[in-house]
Amino acid sequence: MRTSLEKRIARWVKEGRGRGTGEGYKPWLTAKGVPSKGKTHRPKGIKTAREHLFLSDWEYFYFLLVDWSRLVVDIREQFPLLDESGLDISETVSIAKELGVDHPIDPPGNELKVITTDFLIDLHHEQFAVSFKKNDSITIREVEKMEIERMYWARRGVRWELVTEKDIPLVYVKNIEYVHSTYYFEDYHIPLTIVEKAKRIMEPLFLKREKKITDITNFCDDRLGLQPGESLAIVRYCIVTKQWNINMEELIETNQPLALIGITMPNEKGGLGQIAN
């Protein structure tokens, strides 16, 4: 007779969890399955064109960095560490025994559980796996669990990394967060012909770096008869699509000039600038 864990794995695999790539991937865990560590974030990925779910600010910040990178082609969160059959946890159980450590369990019933990797990231020619942990949460027990994870991926020739909040450049991330949602610009219902007209008005003014952002966007709104804030949305769109290159290490503040470095042709969707330029 199958255990409750085996039944749950079979049911979730049938639902497509932990399977697929890009827009078709389904994370192993859902919002109901894990406790939130802070604010919940549901960004639509640039690389995947699907909604992601993050239950902590820091995991969300890390996602923004990799979603921005031109090196990254796919991001899968909460990826299950199942054996080659994809139907049980015998491999991670075996690794735990080899290490002489306890395999993770689900506290309610003290039943063994499926270990998940926070991020499995595809680059153009390789993959790497990431475990994200707050620095002050890394206990001896957490190190034991991460070693199981590392060995699992090592057997597959996949690089595994530990990332903490100390690895996140906050100003850079805040800039990405500010512009990220405008990548799907059709949601703003502003014709691209208007975008081009707005660019022609705003680009020479921003390059001078003499006036604050809102002075220029308000002027553009008035000049083109746009609704208040529409020119500011165009600014964000031009940044996220890399039509405008800015100093990402200087915080975007609308009451200050924009740190515009240069102007380029739009990149194809999915090919945005890499981390730290």
For residues 124 and 17, give the distance between their C-alpha atoms in angstroms, rounded to a whole number: 24
Phi, psi of 115 (to 5 degrees): -80, 140
Structure tokens at 260: 């515009």
Phi, psi of 164 (to 5 degrees): -125, 175
Burial environment of residue 148 by CB neighbours within 10 A (0 to 12, 13 to 18, 19 or more): buried
Rounded to two decimals, the pTM is 0.89
Helices and strands, counts by H and E, the chain:
8, 8
Beta-sheet strands, E only, within the chain: 72-80, 105-106, 111-112, 116-123, 127-132, 159-163, 244-246, 260-263
**CATH 1.10.10.10 domain span(s) along the chain:** 170-263
Confidence of residue 4 (pLDDT cuts 50, 70, 90): confident
Taking residues 43-54, what's their average pLDDT?
95
For residue 6, the model assigns a pLDDT of 86
For residues 119 and 60, give the distance between their C-alpha atoms in angstroms, rounded to a whole number: 11
Taking residues 219-234, what's their average pLDDT?
97
Query: Which amino acid is located at 15 in the chain?
Result: E
Class of domain 170-263 (CATH, top level): mainly alpha
Q: What is the DSSP letter of 54?
A: B
CB distance 89 to 83 below 8 Å: yes
For residues 24 and 249, give the distance between their C-alpha atoms in angstroms, rounded to a whole number: 34
pLDDT digits (tens, 9 = 90+) for 146-178: 999 999 999 999 999 999 999 999 999 999 999
Residue 186 has pLDDT above 80, yes or no: yes
Residue 32 has pLDDT above 50, yes or no: yes
Taking residues 108-112, what's their average pLDDT?
81
For residue 146, the model assigns a pLDDT of 97
Class of domain 4-166 (CATH, top level): alpha beta
**CATH 3.40.1350.10 domain span(s) along the chain:** 4-166
| Minimum mean pLDDT range among 190-199, 213-222, 261-270 | 261-270
